[in-house]
Amino acid sequence: MEITSLIMEGRTSTIVGLLAALMFLAVECEDTKGHDPLGSYNNPAQTCKGLKRHNPAIKNGLYYIIDKEGNVYQTYCDMEVGGGGWSLVASIHENNMNGRCTTGDRWSSEQGVSALHPHGDGFWENRATHGIPASATSDDYKNPGYFSMHADDIMIWHVPNDTPLPDIKYRALFKYYTNNGFLPTFGGNLGYLYSQHFKIRDGIYKVNVDNGPAIPVVWAKGSKQYYLDLLGSSARAEVDGGYVQFRAINHEGNAFALCSGVKIKTGKGNVEHMCIGSTSSNKGHIDYFGDFAGMDAPHNPSWAASTKLIESSVLIFYR
């Protein structure tokens, strides 16, 4: 039926619906010639996965994404690992292992030992953003996709600090990803997972009892054994390799947001040496403060992780 006929019949709601559908398709699919390509500022994509589906030959690089709220932002897309289509949403960068919950510890607390901030800054749970993708290995990074994108799986890279963005795919020590579609069970993204299911709080949990899920991973670069070899000998005895675990609790009841590459064995609780993203504790356990917390184990080298891990940023992707 022609639009003019619809107007004459007074069916304007039908016209509005047709126009809305056409506008959505314009975002989801690449324009025909004469228009900006999908993933450009004037024609942002909804996900890197959508870009890859539209153009299987597309390369790794920076592309523009639009979220459900209409926010447009630029991020890095990996179009290779496991079929590609991965959107970079965050990075955790430890800028100073000797600075405990000080400036730059956004994923834990920048407030130090403070009764006003007993649960840290809430960066794992809130809608705050920080940084740009080009600096993802030199500073913390978090874009709107972290809390607004709906994804099935996550991928993690460990990339040496200060690696230029074009080189991260070559220099990454590890690349591994989940492939069982677990994320929709917890809201489709880590922002929802942490804010609604596994909150990061201080001193209120029980070791082992309140740990979050551990999801098996596929290794695209590196291996389970190589990752374990970079942990301290005592730390290795408390974990199983080949997983990513969310919210692990240590013996003091402190929550650690992410155990990347491992899961905590039943009955074990020295998670500060393997997991990242602690809260600000008021119990005097100063070694647990900070994004990478106790991974260096200064008073007990058998718990310390290799500098290769400590001096690498943890990059998080969705697909």
Give the tens place of pLDDT for each residue, 124-147.
999 999 999 999 999 999 999 999
pLDDT digits (tens, 9 = 90+) for 217-230: 999 999 999 999 99
| pLDDT band per the 50, 70, 90 thresholds, residue 97 | low
- On whether the CB atoms of residues 215 and 180 are closer than 8 A, the answer is yes
Instruction: Outline where 190-259 has alpha helix (H).
Output: 190-192, 224-229, 233-236
Angle (nearest 5°) at CA 21 between 16 and 24:
125
More confident: 225 or 19: 225
Confidence bin at 7 (pLDDT 50/70/90): very low
Q: If we measure between CA atoms, which residue out of 291, 285, 282 comes closest to residue 269?
A: 285
227-253 pLDDT tens trace = 999 999 999 999 999 999 999 999 888
DSSP label of 201: -
Judging by DSSP bridges, how do beta strands 174-177 and 154-160 pair with one another? Answer: antiparallel
Residue 201 token pair:
């709080």
pLDDT of residue 17: 43
Is residue 232 within 8 Å of residue 303, measured between CB atoms? yes
Nearest residue to 136 via CA among 111, 161, 106: 161
Considering just the CA atoms, what is the radius of gyration of the chain in Å?
A: 22
* Residue 15 in this model has a pLDDT that exceeds 90: no
Paired tokens of 206: 């029980």
pLDDT score of 302: 95
The pLDDT, as a whole number, for residue 313 is 97
| Residue pair 106/28 in contact by the 8 Å Cβ criterion | no
Cβ–Cβ under 8 Å, residues 287 and 299: yes
Q: Which residues contact 302 (CB under 8 A, 6 or more apart)?
A: 232, 233, 234, 235
Place of tokens 């506008």: 23
Place of tokens 């943890």: 314
Mean per-residue pLDDT for 77-85?
98
Distance CA 217, CA 194 (A): 20
The pLDDT score that the predictor gives to residue 9 is 44
Q: Which pLDDT value is given to residue 293?
A: 73
- Evaluate if residue 5 carries a pLDDT over 50: no
The pTM of this model reads 0.87
pLDDT tens, 259-303?
999 999 999 999 989 999 887 655 556 666 767 777 887 778 999
- Give the list of residues 6+ apart from residue 91 with CB closer than 8 angstroms, or none: 131, 136, 137, 140, 141, 142, 313, 314, 315, 316
Please report the pLDDT score of residue 30 as a whole number: 41
Confidence of residue 22 (pLDDT cuts 50, 70, 90): very low
Distance from the first to the final alpha carbon of the chain: 39
Quote the strand ranges of 149-306, DSSP E: 154-160, 174-177, 214-216, 218-221, 239-249, 255-264, 276-278
